Amino acid sequence: MQVIREFDPWDGKLCTCPDKYSLNPYTGCDHRCIYCYATYIPNFFRPRRKKDLVERVKKDLKKIPESSLISLSNSSDPYLKMDKEYKDTRRCLKVLKKNGMKILVVTKGVHVKRDIDILKRADCAVTVSLCTIDEEVKKKLEPNAPSPKKRLEIIRQLVKEDIPTGVRFDPIFPELTEQEIPEIVKKISETGAKHVVSSTLKLRGDSWKKLKLAFPEKAQELEKEYFKEGEKIDNSRYLPEEKRLHILKKVVEECEEEGLSFGTCREGFPSLTTPNSCDGSHLFE
């Protein structure tokens, strides 16, 4: 296949996602999140279009089972600034819908609003990513992504349009956004979204360098937690297991209080995931 691929997060042993396919309408991303896990792709922060995208999507769809779950996007964002002009994501959604696919949209881009008309009529769920509601912290973590306020507004709007909507409260930064957990879960609940997916920050070489530069006052503590006490799993540095469990349990407690279902992403705590899916795919049911 050319542009639709089996979802395979680097054979990650902690991944609990159901079988699904992945489609990135664009290569690269311009939100420039300093924690991005996809920067192994060359020139990642200079996004570009894919040649003959729609024709290649149509060809690939002939090779996969009917009603497959297709996630847009796992190594980019389907709603980049350039998509306002090119509308490649909209073109893909139309083809996927016409072919009866289940569509899982994962985005920080608020112009998903443009495609509500298609999403409403498709077998579809949307998860909007949000890792802080502090605008100043956001500027350092996700310099070019829409503001948290705008993302909360779009979640509210998707819910109002009866589109199954969850939130990726992800990643959670120890010592930095951890203290925002109660407020963020409360804000998510107020939007009407029903599901939260969370994970703690995983570090790779380039993200650690950027994080140190952005938050020098936290560098010493983070270095201790990730590189002395933490562990390496699937090419990323993780916090120590008890610390991850502590952070995620806080999210679970807040979600329970608000009546939200909860899942973790690549954490290895299946008992924390209720009811059934980590990525929000149960929202289709």
CB 97 within 8 A of CB 118: yes
Q: Is 31 in the site for ligand SF4 (CB under 6 A)?
A: yes
Of 139, 57, 61, 135, the closest CA to residue 90 belongs to 57
Q: Which parts of 38-67 interact with ligand SF4 (CB under 6 A)?
A: 38
**By C-beta, is 83 or 254 nearer to ligand SF4?**
83
Cβ 1 vs Cβ 63: under 8 Å: yes
Cis peptide before 171 (omega within 30 of 0): yes
Nearer Cβ to ligand SF4 (72/124)? 72
Distance CA(64)–CA(19), nearest Å, equals 12
Q: Considering the rule CB under 6 A, would residue 29 count as an interface residue with ligand SF4?
A: yes
Closest-CA residue to 2 (of 54, 37, 45): 54
- Asked whether position 36 contacts ligand SF4 by CB under 6 A, the answer is yes
Interacting residue with ligand SF4 among 33, 152, 197, 251 (CB under 6 A): 33
Please state, as a whole number, how many other Cβ atoms lie within 10 Å of the Cβ of residue 233. 16
Which of 22, 61, 71, 77 contacts ligand SF4 by CB under 6 A?
77
Least Å distance, CB 76 to ligand SF4, is 5
Distance CA 57, CA 176 (A): 40
With respect to ligand SF4, which residue has the nearer C-beta, 79 or 238?
79
Site string for ligand SF4, 94-133 (x = CB under 6 A): --------------x-------------------------
Binding site for ligand SF4 (CB under 6 A): 29, 31-33, 36, 38, 76-77, 108
